[in-house]
Amino acid sequence: MPITAIRGFNDILPGDSDIWRRIESEAYRLFSGYGFSEIRTPVAEKAELFLRSIGETTDIVEKEMYTFEDRHGDSLALRPEGTAPVVRAYIEHKLYIAPVSKLYYTGPMFRYERPQKGRYRQFYQIGAEVMGDDSPRADAEALSMLMSFFAKIGVAGVELHINSLGDANCRPAYKEKLKAYLAGVKGALCENCLRRMDTNPLRALDCKASGCIEATKDAPSIVDSLCEGCASHFGTVRKYLALSGIDARINPRMVRGLDYYTKTTFEITSTALGSQNAVAAGGRYDGLVKELGGPETPCFGFAIGMERVALILKETASHAGSPLTVFIALGEKAEEASIPILRSWREKGSKVMEEFSPGSLKSRMKRADRLGARYTVIMGDDELAKGEVAVKDMLTSAQERLSFDAALMRILSE
Ligand code: ATP
Ligand code: MG
């Protein structure tokens, strides 16, 4: 029996990988324009980092982390998300010396979830963090950048849902209100929500169990419980989103699956997806840097789910990468002459694959077709002597003799 990949861990195959690369390079280009620089952190961290940041009573930490002991008995975890590692590195390398750090990252994350379309155990995120800026305009700017990103790469049906989770000033009182409400509908809550009712009642608003969704329908709204500072922050975020021409829907039930969020939280969904329809999510986390031992640093960040974005683009957009040319040299002389010619063509940006098989010209042309050639270039002794090649347009079957340079211009013109 051949060995297969681990369940929920995917290969990204040629064709798809072109889409992935396009998504990544568009993100890098756009984010750089807003002053972001890349940071790369390891895929594994001390497990404690995630317990202390994401929160011990979150689904990620309770059920989804890949935690293991290394040979020394140290408890390590494959990162389930990118923010905590970036914060760890930010503190460790004293990046807070800069007045503001704008960082982006990309890479695989790991969560032990039930694999299904759009949900995997190894999945990729592109994320960005604005560190050291408490202005609501920073939230709105990052959200606007994200919406531009989706527009630029062609993700359709994008919707922005926002909420505010308050802060240390107003959240405790809201928690009490919610607890009291939950106590009244206790009988309908799932086991998990019951267990976390005292320590982390907000989780019940995020629970996917139908009983919990029903029971929390009339729960008090956090938006109504915000203190003056949080309410004004939220108002300014909404004002600046409106100034950017962005429609935002307020969803007071959206509490997100990580405990470190404060004030603004958001999720972006796409109608082009089925049930796993969130393509990006994030929010403000003003307390996390301090919590992890750094100086007081207000931050805002987000992460984009690469697989879901790639799924949409695969189904909707066209992905003609640069067209392939297959080059067939006939005979030893032409084979030798092709070496410097192809080298210079490739340096000039053409995408050319040389076809080396020993068969007849007819069978080699067939192979060129099966390789997906847009043009096939043939060079025999006769052409070579005249400094020419035969260029066959594989779409129209038209063939013409062109000088080396004219042939290059032709294949580059597509
Ligand atoms: P969901 O509600 O879909 O579980 P989440 O709240 O767990 O998402 P975040 O931790 O905020 O998601 O991650 C941000 C984005 O990463 C999500 O919006 C989604 O696009 C993507 N994502 C999260 N978990 C997975 C997964 N297991 N497989 C693929 N993509 C994922
Ligand atoms: Mg999740």
Q: DSSP assignment of 337-405, as one string?
A: HHHHHHHHHHHTT--EEEE---S-HHHHHHHHHHTT-SEEEEE-HHHHHTTEEEEEETTT--EEEEEHH
Type of residue numbered 170: C
Residue 307, ligand 1, Cβ within 6 A: yes
| DSSP-derived 3-state class of residue 2 | coil
Phi and psi torsions of 351, nearest 5° = -110, 100
Q: What is the pLDDT of residues 268-308, one digit of tens each?
A: 999 999 888 999 999 999 999 999 999 999 999 999 999 99
84 in ligand 1 pocket by Cβ < 6 Å? no
Beta bridge partners of 353: 326
What is the position in ligand 1's atom list of the atom closest to the CA of 80? 10
224 token code pair? 């109504």
Q: Is residue 268 within 8 Å of 281, Cβ to Cβ? A: yes
- Residue with the two structure tokens 């390789």: 371
pTM of the model: 0.90
Nearest C-alpha neighbor of 298 from the set 140, 132, 142, 164:
132
Residue 256 pLDDT > 90, yes or no?
no
CB neighbours of 71 closer than 8 A, spacing ≥ 6?
Answer: none
pLDDT for 319 equals: 62
Q: How far apart are CA 279 and CA 161, in angstroms?
A: 12
Cβ of 10 less than 6 Å from ligand 1:
no
- Nearest alpha carbon, ligand 1 atom 22: 305
Q: What is the pLDDT of residue 320?
A: 63
pLDDT in tens, 159-191: 999 999 999 999 999 999 999 999 999 889 999
Q: What is the pLDDT of residues 363-382, one digit of tens each?
A: 999 999 999 999 999 999 99
Range name among 54-63, 108-117, 297-306 with the lowest pLDDT average: 54-63
pLDDT in tens, 220-252: 999 999 999 999 999 999 999 999 999 999 999
Which two three-digit tokens encode residue 233?
């922050």
Q: What percent of the chain has pLDDT over 90?
A: 87
Q: Is 252 near ligand 1, meaning CB less than 6 Å away?
A: no
User: Model confidence at 4, in pLDDT bands (50, 70, 90)?
Assistant: very high
Provide the percentage of residues in the chain whose pLDDT is more than 70.
99
Residues, the chain: 414
Amino acid identity at 86: V
> How far is the centre of ligand 1, averaged over its atoms, from the C-alpha of 305 (Å)?
6
Element (H, E) at 314: helix 306-316
Question: For 324-364, how does the pLDDT look when each residue is reduced to its tens digit (9 = 90+)?
Answer: 999 999 999 999 999 999 999 999 999 999 999 999 999 99
Q: Is the dihedral of CA 52, 54, 58, 63 positive or negative?
A: negative
**Domains of the chain, CATH where assigned:** 16-170+226-315 (3.30.930.10), 324-412 (3.40.50.800)
For ligand 1, atom 28, name the residue with the nearest CA: 119
Ligand 1 geometric centre to CA of 118 (Å): 9
